[in-house]
Amino acid sequence: MKLKSNILKIAIFATGLSGIVAEYILSTLATYFLGDSVFQWSMIVSVMLFSMGLGSRISKYFNDDLLVKFIAIEFVLSLLVSFSPLLAYITASFTIYTGLIIYLLSILIGLMIGMEIPLVIRINDEMESLRVNVSSVIENDYYGSLLGGLFFAFVALPYLGLTYTPFILGFINFSVAIFLFIVVSQHIKPVIKSKLVISAVSISIILVIGFFSAKPIIIFGEQNKYKDKVIYSEQSRYQKIVLTEWKGNHWLYINGNQQLSTLDEIMYHEPLIHPIVNLSENPANVLVLGGGDGCAVRELLKYEAIKNITLVDLDPVMIEFAKTNPIMTEMNDNSLLNPKVDVKTTDGYIFVEETKDFYDIIIIDLPDPRTIELGRLYSLEFYKKCFKLLRPNGLIITQAGSPYYATNSFRCIDKTLKSADFNTIMLHNQILTMGEWGWVLGSKNIKTEKLLENLHSLEYKNIDLKWLNNESMKLLTSFGKNIYNIPAEEIKINTIHDPVLYRYYLNGNWDIY
């Protein structure tokens, strides 16, 4: 009796691990395909918890053969969990209903998980007192959840990705079912036993085939997500990195969003780098936050006056990709291997909070603030920390999204920088593959009028530039009338405790993009 009870607790520990990781996988899939990580994670987890409640309620109608029913549930879960990403990618390839499939899978998996604990408690009821039974079963489920969270954060997502992690979970559920079946097989009716054996053999074959077919299926689904040929795809701990190719040009995507194209990246990186460097009286020490592709650093290295460049990027996979991939190294001229460049793989917010160094220029080349996590690096608190790191005549520039596709977001960044005591100027340029894109440039001491005057008088001599020239500077700082969205005075400042920026961004005019 004691042995059977311990086996049940081991089983619920394993299913607790599998269940929590299944929630994380579905939340990650929803974020990747549907965007807005905070909304998707909260909704997926809420839907699954609600479904678990329904599953728990449904389990009360099971009156006999409880262990057999538990084994059957584990069989079903092993298939649902294993194939959930493949179903999402296949759906995304042929329909617009990816979100529906992901949420339907969340409901089904939640129902199955919700049945597990009540069934195990009832099965274990004859072996332990109610007080010990309930606490020990739930205790093991929670312990399994903790291990599942650690597994997902430190092993599954960074090393196995969404391709193989679900199959690991599926094999856990399947192994639990097989183990229990072997232990209690002598107590199962022959007819039911035969059905379970046939099911077990069939599921094992399906799981093995699925495991070895997963990567090509994911690649097929990924390819259909992009209009051009996918030549590189990798899921790091932090993001999905994809490189595509069309007619000799390449596009870099992070989490499905274009970051740059070799066709026109100079129209982004030259305005980002050269105006601010030429405005600086002594651009000796430069801090680049983001910019893991190495293109911003490539432009900075064109200046002998720049002695040290510190590049801070969160993702070591992105850095290694930019350092070693031949397409990337050709594009960035091996900039990240230059001895002037000190690459640090850490969170940009933490870096500016902890560093003891000071800089003449800070370049912020981060992805768009489409999430609360990214919005933290566009916050008032963050900009104030940057202000302290700059020397008295220091300058800062940040990419700020589109002034027309996300007008309120663009103006929110400008207003937040001003609130951090920077004198600012907004810049924009037409990027062929991305549309109208913008930056906000700030100075600690130079007043806005003088800053604008200095910008317009810049002369780029003896610098290898492919697009930027003196004439283009007046175009970069010229904006028409405000024709979109709410009045400027109603734009709020983005702070950590009131993260309005990501909502401004997501509510932009992206349907015309």
Question: So which residues are the catalytic ones?
Answer: 365
CA distances from 126 to 2, 122, 133 (A): 11, 8, 9
**CB 119, CB 66: distance < 8 Å:** yes
Nearest to 109 by CA among 90, 83, 91: 83
Find the radius of gyration of the CA atoms of the chain: 27
**CB 311, CB 291: distance < 8 Å:** yes
**What proportions of the chain, in percent to the nearest 5, are helix, strand and coil?**
60, 15, 25
Which residues 6+ apart lie within 8 Å of 55 measured at CB? Answer: 110, 111, 112, 113, 114, 115
| Amino acid letter, 207 | L
The whole-angstrom separation of Cα 315 and Cα 290 is 9
- The sign of the torsion formed by the CA atoms of 405, 408, 411, 413 equals negative
Q: Could you give the angle at the alpha carbon of 309 between the alpha carbons of 304 and 312, nearest 5°? A: 160
The whole-angstrom separation of Cα 236 and Cα 218 is 15
CA distances from 215 to 37, 71, 165, 268 (A): 25, 29, 12, 34
Q: What is the DSSP string of 239-272?
A: -EEEEEEETTEEEEEETTEEEEETTTTHHHHHHH
**CB 14, CB 176: distance < 8 Å:** yes
